Chain A
């Protein structure tokens, strides 16, 4: 039995300890904003926060999550930074297929919390998520827009 918090709610999980956090979120908790892309930590569509650190949830297993605090995009609905980011994503019309958007927004949230006004190099280094549709130029613009809108 592993005890953790997901989006502020205490959860007790009885599942195989090698179960990745991604599948705990998707199949046990029905939190489907976090996507499955590669299962190997390459693409970032499964990005979430664990103890305020950005992680790729397909590579984090339940065994390492006892007492952890997990936050997914669903848990950030009223977060002020995330609100600015989603507004910027809409203003710049970033997504195409949109499958990478939740992970990109999580990665951007982590970046802007740490570096409220990132330059292009800081954006390059922080946003390593893959977007097959090629929305990258708009991702960059939207990050600058969100940063500029921050108080």
Chain B
């Protein structure tokens, strides 16, 4: 079995799922099930004092799915570290998807603040999965200070644009000594398959599933695509060429001379 190992934890599924933007907790739960995932991300927000008992965690089967709290909303390292500590206090889970995004328009991650937060969180014993731009130098720095993965973006969060950072992700995959998870911007199963064919170890998908017309079916489609892409990568893709290379024999043509 082709298992993925992150921080000593084995995964059979190479598809991780976000829990945001679903029309209902029921649809979210069924989509998670259909995706075959083994780990889902969640965010931390203030309780709405006027509507205090909307409970997401009740809809996630913690026996089947690992929870990966994110630090979404953090604009700098201090905010991210605070969120990570709160998440750990809530669950005892030391895993955190580190997300530091000061600009709400493109939601691109601040590499400098991500590095700063990582140093502090690793010191405090967190297992850090950092969300980054596809920056090979930054990826190397993060893995060298002890992150469990690197998670370069394909395109801005929720944009569904597909892989716009292909060349840089290829370099990261080539140079990384930790698993590479392509996270953000994957909008279609074909994008996820492309990431896996390139040699990514896993992908993280949220909007493409939650905002699909049929999220549950789309989750299945992503499951198939990730499996297909991984198998393709392991099967050794045939080489590309500029000119044609005939598929049928070049002799014995039936022609009037």
A binds B: no
Write the residues of chain B forming the contact surface with A, with a CB cutoff of 8 angstroms. none
Q: Which residues from chain A sit less than 8 Å from chain B, CB to CB?
A: none
